[in-house]
Amino acid sequence: MKIIVTGGAGFIGSNFVHYVYRERPDWQITVLDALTYAGNRANLDGLDPSRVTLVEGNITDAELVDKLVSEHDAVVHYAAESHNDNSLQNPRPFLDTNIIGTYTILEAVRKHGKRLHHISTDEVYGDLELDDPNRFTENTPYNPSSPYSSTKAGSDLLVRAWGRSFGVEATISNCSNNYGPFQHVEKFIPRQITEVLEGRRPKLYGTGENVRDWIHTEDHSSAVLTILEKGKIGETYLIGADGEKDNKSVVELILTEMGKAADEYDHVNDRPGHDMRYAIDSTKLRNELGWMPKFTDFEAGLKSTIDWYTQNESWWKPQKAETEAKYAK
């Protein structure tokens, strides 16, 4: 297999590249990544260049995408503008990358008859009340809240339409919140860990009662590989590991794990339009494709993530001051 991984120098994409590199030693991987503020060549360090190639380029570049797609068997499409807070400051790059970029990839896989797996998010379903007994399923209606999630929802709908209208062989997965190594310090868990490492206090939006359904990024990778190999064309699969936690509890866990008092954090202004709760029912993926998550001990996973950021200061330090300056503004 020769696959293209778009966004493979970002957080989840690079974890997937490492995973496939280990699990499928005969596969060739081409990473197509624009190396935006969120992409980092170092995320691919240690991989044999005869098996993994990084092409620095934009998924909206139709000529480049067309050429690469013609030379590969499948595209696993992770590239996106991914941060809600950024989408509230400047939505435009989200439209360009998430909508036009996905359209560009769809046109290339349509022309060359190649397989596509599209990576999406549970945020396309909007949010749940804290006491809602239901979780998101593949049948939950789309109801996105932010510029980020609405452009991801739009990209999903394009993939579905290209499947139905043009017979593009595509699958879609919608996953919950990932954590693990190589996550940008703008995101919740790495931001709080690195705040503590730099001697400052974590920052909790609003009351901190918002719930996210955490999954270790390695489990996301194993799910995506399962869908790529065994998924039914035209289907959508939800990926989740039953990891619901409220933000306040996560901050308290980080603080205690890092030797601080559990209340050494600050409440800051809430995110406008802040989704209250996400929760995934991944029964379909488990029953139909036999996938199971392995990293279901959140405290152990969080501890190893704290260790990774503690040991890899040179990886996150260059992004930290700029990220905090953006938040301060």
Nearer to ligand DAU, 13 or 163 (CB): 13
| Residue ranges in 277-296 that form contacts with ligand DAU under rule CB under 6 A | 278
For the stretch 245-248, contacts whose Cβ atoms lie closer than 8 Å and that sit 24 or more positions apart, written own/partner, are: 245/211, 245/212, 245/214, 245/298, 246/208, 246/209, 246/210, 246/211, 247/188, 247/204, 247/205, 247/208, 247/209, 247/210, 247/211, 247/212, 248/204, 248/207, 248/208, 248/209
Q: Residue 201 CB, nearest distance to ligand DAU (Å)?
A: 11
Phi (first) and psi of residue 170, to 5 degrees: -130, 150
* Side chain identity at residue 236, one-letter code: T
Query: At 51, which helix (H) or strand (E)?
Result: none
Candidate residues 3, 5, 7, 211; the one interacting with ligand NAD per rule CB under 6 A: 7
Interface with ligand NAD, residue 78, by CB under 6 A:
yes
- 118 lies in the binding site for ligand DAU (CB under 6 A): no
Residue 205 interacting entry, from ligand DAU, ligand NAD, none, C-beta within 5 to 8 Å by type: ligand DAU
Amino acid sitting at position 12: I
Q: What share of the chain is helix, strand, coil (3-state, %, to 5)?
A: 45, 15, 40
Select from ligand NAD, ligand DAU, none the partner in contact with residue 119, using the beta carbon and a kind-dependent cut-off of 5 to 8 Å: ligand NAD
Q: Which segment (77-85, 104-112, 154-162, 314-322) binds ligand DAU by CB under 6 A?
A: 77-85
Residue 79 is a binding residue for ligand NAD (CB under 6 A)? yes
Q: Is 175 helix (H, G, I), strand (E, B) or coil?
A: strand
Number of chain residues interacting with ligand NAD (CB under 6 A): 30
Instruction: Determine the size of the site formed for ligand DAU (CB under 6 A).
Output: 19
Q: Is 100 in the site for ligand NAD (CB under 6 A)?
A: no
Interaction of residue 60 with ligand NAD, rule CB under 6 A: yes
Query: From the list ligand DAU, ligand NAD, none, which binds 240 (C-beta under 5 to 8 Å, kind-based)?
Result: none
- Helices and strands per DSSP (H, E), number in the chain: 12, 13
Q: Could you tell which of ligand NAD, ligand DAU, none binds residue 75, using a CB distance below 5 to 8 A set by kind?
A: none
Should residue 97 be labelled a site residue for ligand NAD when binding is judged by CB under 6 A? yes
190-249 positions binding ligand DAU, by CB under 6 A: 191, 203-205, 210, 212, 247
Other Cβ atoms within 10 Å of 285 Cβ, number: 25
Provide, rounded to whole angstroms, the least separation between the CB of residue 154 and ligand DAU.
Answer: 14
Q: d(Cα 305, Cα 307) in Å, to the nearest integer?
A: 5
87 scored as a contact of ligand DAU (CB under 6 A) = no
> Which are the contacts of 47, defined by CB distance < 8 A and separation ≥ 6?
17, 18, 21
Given 6, 82, 194, 221, the residue binding ligand DAU (CB under 6 A): 82
Find the binding residues for ligand NAD in span 151-180 (CB under 6 A). Answer: 152, 175, 177-178
Q: Is 87 a residue that touches ligand NAD (CB under 6 A)?
A: no
User: What amino acid positions are annotated as catalytic residues?
Assistant: 122-123, 148
d(CA 171, CA 147): 23
Residue 86 to residue 93: CA distance in whole angstroms: 9
The CA–CA distances, whole Å, from 197 to 99, 179, 203 equal: 37, 18, 14
Burial class (CB in 10 A: 0-12, 13-18, 19+), 220: buried
- Helix, strand, or coil here: 74? strand
Compare residues 68 and 255 and give the one whose CB is closer to ligand NAD.
68
The pair of structure tokens assigned to 287 is 């029953």
Question: In the complex, which residues of this chain contact ligand NAD (CB under 6 A)?
Answer: 6-7, 9-13, 33-36, 38-39, 58-60, 78-82, 97, 101, 119, 121, 152, 175, 177-178, 184
Question: In the complex, which residues of this chain contact ligand DAU (CB under 6 A)?
Answer: 82-84, 121-123, 176-177, 187-188, 191, 203-205, 210, 212, 247, 271, 278
